[in-house]
Chains A and B, each alone.
Chain A
Amino acid sequence: MNRVVLIAGILITVALVAILSAGLGKDPQHIDSPLIGKQAPDFALKAVGTGETIDLTQFRGKPLVVNFWATWCRPCYEEHPVLVSNAQMMQGQVQFLGVVFQDKEEKIQQFLNERGTAYPTLVDQAGKTAIAYGVGGVPETFFLNKDGRIVDKFVGPIDSESLQTNIRKAMTQ
């Protein structure tokens, strides 16, 4: 029995199988965010419809939900009513903001006319705000506490329960 071969072989086997099985069950499309716990990048963008410029800092003192989306994104259609109803429910306690990038203003306006809205929807320029936030795809939702610190990030269409849980986090952290 050649010990060197045996030990080397078993080491390689164990290492390989361990690494590969650790990968199982994880979503390879999921990306962690390094911005969690950090101050949210500041921005001031034009709102669709009213045309007024809205600054992120004007909402300090209240928890903030920033939702990145676009009209060409199918799952965004699903989550829109969830966001709108929650925004209406939590009016005064929590501020909601939508940020659209890579899209046309007429399409956004049409979307909001058809489906309603309860909070300002801002238009990004050249996707720069999205890049600053590390947005990989849409939809993505960021939760900021009253000091403007990012508490958590939700990737994909959000449901009411996750929304509530994260808002509670933003309120307490």
Chain B
Amino acid sequence: MTASLGRILVLLSLLVSTTGAVLGYAAGWKRSADGLKWARRFAFAFALLMIAATFVMEYALITHDFSVSYVAQVGSRDVPLWVTIVSLWSSLEGSILFWGFILGIYIAGATWLTRNEHLDYMAYTIGTWLFCGSFFSFLIAGPASPFHTVAIPPLDGPGPNPLLQNHVLMAIHPPFLYLGYVGMTIPFGFATAALLRGRLGQAFLRPMRAALMLPWIFLTIAIMLGGWWAYEVLGWGGYWAWDPVENASLLPWLTATAALHSALVMERRGSLKGWTVTLVQASFLLTILGTFMTRSGVFNSVHSFTQSSIGPTILVFLAAILIGSVTLLAMRIDSLESDSRFEGPVSREGFFLINNLLFVLFTFTVLIGTVFPLLVEAVKGKQMSVGRPYFDSMVVPIGAALLFILGVGPALPWGRATRDQARRALLPPLIGAAIVAIIGYALGVRAPWTLVTLAFGGYAAQVTLGQMWLPVIQRIRRGDAAGPAIIDSQLRRGRRRFGGYLIHAGAVIVIVSIAVSSTMRTQQEVRLTRGESATVGGYTFVFTGTEQKNEPHRVSTLANFDIFKGGGPGGPGGGTKITHLAPRMNQYTAMRDPLGTPDVYTTLKGDIYLSIMNIEGDAVGVNVILTPMVGWIWWAVLLMGAGGIIALIPGSRAVALQARSETPVLQGDEVGAN
């Protein structure tokens, strides 16, 4: 009964989205205000149906209704409630339903927020959104249906993959990822509509940028959460392995970041329109590629869902929208007017262009590395691997170059700069570069690329902080009080600017932390019996014994360690105990092999990380990993997210009214200015 209800809702959503898409495109073609109204209604209806179908599924999961095929697949009476709720996205079919759910919410939100604006474009935009919606409805209704009826419902199910139950981050990472991924559909709609209309004006830019910024924030945090989860849960002490599915999440982030920068130039100078539109389209196309990579079974990855027949379907959709987007782009790109000229490479616009190039190169390199083994196998029939060593070699120079641009670009003025101006802007931050590099060297950094990164980072930090606080400093010099100056300049009027520089500050910290944590890491395997201790990197680890914890769905064996600094307990150095760590080995009832969970102690300086390799009676083998500055990465990314939110908060009414007055009017109302 529940399964049938779910199936009906999904079929209805397929019907509604396809009809709405056709309606939207027709309304755009005919410039019909009535058609637009109806397209909007269909958009809301699609959203409602997707939300309802998702609620039906969650209801079935929580009530353990094993007559629904997806519940029989991932449900279990033994797991905690939060695990049941998040098992909605733990397996393939449910995850596509979740995609539809998020897409519905985005489409409804975007349709509502643009209800009085851009009537010229919105019909095409909604048509595009619903076209994408119809594809996912089709998947949920057909090849990936979670709502099949199980003829003889089992009494209990196996529960979701135990790896996904190990940590609470499992509940947060996928929703953030989907909010980021799926959200790229919205700016794609705006960009496609702009191309169809053949015009990309300033008034249209604002919703596209906002539509790009929101998913960007989610995706940035999602990628960080994925890395943090890998670090805290998997036990190898790293946070990024260049796994194909990890790369799939990174690719659209790279093009979206480039698009945001490109859009900035478009707003200030009216140029780079073609670049911006292409990057926005690429961001969406890469999410579809990403979903193919994760779900097709083509790629060997720790993240892959089990192989399924859904791959060819997604590939066909990808091919179709690729060809459509390329054709549309080729037809219209020359007609997107550009009203400014480039003043040469040593200018802010020039650096934005170089920025675009570097991000595209980054994207291209990651993509090539990920699909290359497939290419070789197709052409030569031989298997080869492209793994972490390749990506690390390629990405480090690109990352350093990006950090360089992050420092030099904002220091340069817009337009052609005289030699004098360039000198005044570019020389002072060298002090910052020198300071940070020297501090790094003093603290033991010797790897050349890391020192270079520190120097670039110091430079960028000084430029970023300088630019960020420039308005406040100028007001204080004039005589304003500091407090009100800060609040007014940064939070009331200059949010986009302040938010943007906050993001840059976070990015500098992230890049520097990644460089330091990768090259200054210490790792050692240690084998201890109860009472024994070992010293690694200035810390003494005392193994005090194991204990067992029993839970309904798993049995955990903990290995207890006391950690001292400056010598062992009661030893000649008189060490002080700094913490207690207890890495675990979990035996899940549903899995044959035990799964380890590491334990981590985080400080400002770095992390102490313990992960069990094996336990035999009273002896334990652990991996001791000391990683400096790794905790900075997570918090710096959150800083980036905060900057994004600040930048996103809408501006004053004056700005919005001005945008509205520039909107062309549709036939059927009255003939207005274009």
Is there an interface contact between B323 and A13, defined as CB atoms closer than 8 Å?
yes
Looking at chain B's contact residues, the main secondary structure is: helix
Let me know if B374 and A17 touch, CB within 8 A: no
Contact of A9 among B311, B330, B377, B382 (CB under 8 A): B330
Known: A28-B297, A28-B300. A19 touches B378 (CB 8 A): yes
Determine if B297 and A22 form an interchain contact, defined as CB atoms under 8 angstroms apart.
no
**Would you call B371 an interface residue if the criterion is a C-beta within 8 Å of the partner chain's C-beta atoms?**
yes
B315 pairs with A17, CB closer than 8 A? yes
Q: Tell me how far the C-beta of B537 lies from the nearest C-beta in chain A, rounded to whole angstroms.
A: 29
Verify B326–A6 contact, CB threshold 8 A: yes
Q: Which of B298, B323, B334 lies in contact with A24, CB distance below 8 A? A: B298
Name the residue of chain B whose CB is nearest to the CB of A32.
Answer: B383
A2 and B330 contact, CB distance less than 8 A:
yes
Interface flags, A65-88, vs B, CB<8A=1, else 0: 000000010100000000000000
Assuming the contacts A13-B322, A32-B383, asked whether A24 and B315 have C-beta atoms less than 8 A apart, the reply is yes
Interface residues of A in 131-166 (CB under 8 A from B): none
- Most B C-beta atoms less than 10 A away, residue of A10, A20, A24, A27: A20
| A31 contacts partner chain B, Cβ-Cβ < 8 Å | yes
Docked complex: B276-332 residues within 8 A CB-CB of A: 289, 292, 296-300, 304, 307, 311-312, 315, 318-319, 322-323, 325-327, 329-331
Complex Cα distance, B154 from A95, in Å, reads: 46
Residues of A contacting B: mostly: helix
Cβ of B375 under 8 Å from chain A: yes
Contact among A6, A18, A21, A29 with B327 in the assembled complex (CB-CB below 8 Å): A6
Minimal beta-carbon separation of B209 from chain A (angstroms): 23
Interface pair B331/A1, CB less than 8 Å apart: yes
Distance in Å from the Cβ of B399 to the closest Cβ of chain A? 24
* A16 and B322 within 8 A (CB): yes
- Contact (Cβ within 8 A) A17 B326: no
A69 to B674, CA, bound (A): 76
Q: Chain A residues with Cβ under 8 A from B326's Cβ?
A: 5-6, 9-10, 12-13
Q: Are A26 and B292 in contact (CB under 8 A)?
A: no
B298 and A28 form a contact (CB under 8 A): yes
How far in angstroms is the closest Cβ of chain B from A22? Answer: 4
Given A17-B322, A23-B377, A26-B298: A5 in contact with B330 (beta carbons within 8 A): yes
* Total count of chain B residues near the partner, CB < 8 A: 32
Cβ distance A41 to chain B, nearest Cβ, rounded Å: 21
Of B325, B374, B382, the contact of A20 (CB 8 Å cutoff): B374
B473 within 8 A of A: no
Residues of A within 8 A of B330 (CB): 1-3, 5-6, 9
B491 contacts A by Cβ under 8 Å: no
Inter-chain CA distance A24–B312, complex, in Å, is 8
Contacting residue for A19 out of B319, B322, B375, B383, CB 8 A: B375
The reply to whether A24 and B296 form a contact with Cβ atoms under 8 Å apart is yes
Nearest CB to that of A5 among chain B residues? B330
With A5-B333, A28-B298 known as contacts, the answer to whether A23 contacts B374 (CB < 8 A) is yes
Nearest CB in chain B to that of A4: its residue:
B330
Task: Tell me, rounded to whole Å, the shortest Cβ–Cβ distance linking B525 to chain A.
Answer: 16
Contacts of A9 in B (CB 8 A): 322, 325-327, 329-330
Report how far A19 CA is from B311 CA in the complex, Å.
13
Q: Given the known A-B contacts A13-B322, A16-B322, are A28 and B377 also in contact in the complex, defined by CB atoms under 8 Å?
A: no
Q: A6-B327, A9-B329, A13-B322 are in contact. Are A20 and B315 (CB under 8 A)?
A: yes
How far does the alpha carbon of A10 sit from the alpha carbon of B325 in the complex, in Å? 10
Establish whether residues B315 and A5, one from each chain, have CB atoms under 8 Å apart when the complex forms: no
- Which residues of chain B are within 8 angstroms of A6 by Cβ–Cβ distance? 326-327, 330
In the bound complex, how far is the Cα of B325 from the Cα of A1, in angstroms? 13
Chain A 33-63 residues near chain B, CB threshold 8 A: none
Asked if A31 contacts B327 (CB within 8 A), the reply is no
List residues of chain B with CB within 8 A of the CB of A2: 329-331, 333-334
**B residues 491-506 in Cβ contact with A at 8 Å:** none
CA of A72 to CA of B334 in the docked complex: distance in angstroms?
65
> Given that A1-B330, A5-B333, A28-B299 are contacting pairs, would A17 and B377 also be in contact in the complex, using a CB cutoff of 8 Å?
no
Output the nearest chain A residue to B371 by Cβ-Cβ distance: A19
B262 CB, nearest partner CB in chain A, Å = 16
A24-B299 CB under 8 A given contacts A13-B322, A16-B371: no
Q: In the complex, what's the smallest C-beta–C-beta distance from A111 to chain B, in angstroms?
A: 16
A10: contacting residue among B299, B312, B323, CB under 8 A: B323
- Closest residue of chain B to A29, judged by CB? B300
Q: Is the Cβ of B333 less than 8 Å from the Cβ of A19?
A: no
What is the distance, in angstroms, from B256's C-beta to the closest C-beta of chain A?
19
**Once bound together, how far apart are the Cα atoms of A2 and B333, in whole Å?**
7
User: How far is it, in angstroms, between the C-alpha of A13 and the C-alpha of B324 when the chains are bound?
Assistant: 11
Minimal beta-carbon separation of A112 from chain B (angstroms): 21
Given contacts A5-B330, A6-B327, A13-B319, whether A23 and B383 have CB atoms under 8 Å apart is no
CA distance A31 to B378 in the complex (A): 14
* Inter-chain contacts of B382 with A (CB < 8 A): 32
Q: A3-B330, A5-B330, A6-B327 are in contact. Are A20 and B383 (CB under 8 A)?
A: no
Interfacial chain B residues near A32, Cβ < 8 Å: 382-383
Contacts of A19 in B (CB 8 A): 371, 374-375, 378
Cα of A21 to Cα of B319 in the assembled complex, Å: 11
Q: Report the separation of the CA atoms of residues A21 and B374 in the bound assembly, to the nearest whole angstrom.
A: 9
Q: Looking at the complex, which one of A3, A20, A27, A74 makes contact with B371 (CB distance below 8 Å)?
A: A20
Contact A24 B311, CB 8 Å, known A5-B333, A17-B318, A32-B382? yes
Query: Are A22 and B333 neighbours in the complex by a CB distance under 8 Å?
Result: no
Residues from chain A with a CB closer than 8 A to the CB of B371 are: 16, 19-20
Given contacts A32-B382, A72-B592, 18 further A-B contacts (CB under 8 A): A1-B331, A2-B331, A5-B326, A5-B330, A9-B325, A9-B327, A13-B319, A16-B371, A17-B318, A17-B319, A18-B378, A21-B315, A22-B378, A23-B378, A24-B296, A26-B298, A28-B297, A31-B383
Q: List 9 A-B contacts (CB under 8 A).
A: A3-B330, A5-B326, A13-B326, A21-B312, A22-B378, A23-B374, A27-B307, A29-B300, A32-B382
Q: Which residues of B contact A (CB under 8 A)?
A: 289, 292, 296-300, 304, 307, 311-312, 315, 318-319, 322-323, 325-327, 329-331, 333-334, 371, 374-375, 377-378, 382-383, 592
Q: 5 closest A-B pairs (Cβ-Cβ)?
A: A9-B326, A22-B378, A6-B330, A23-B298, A28-B300
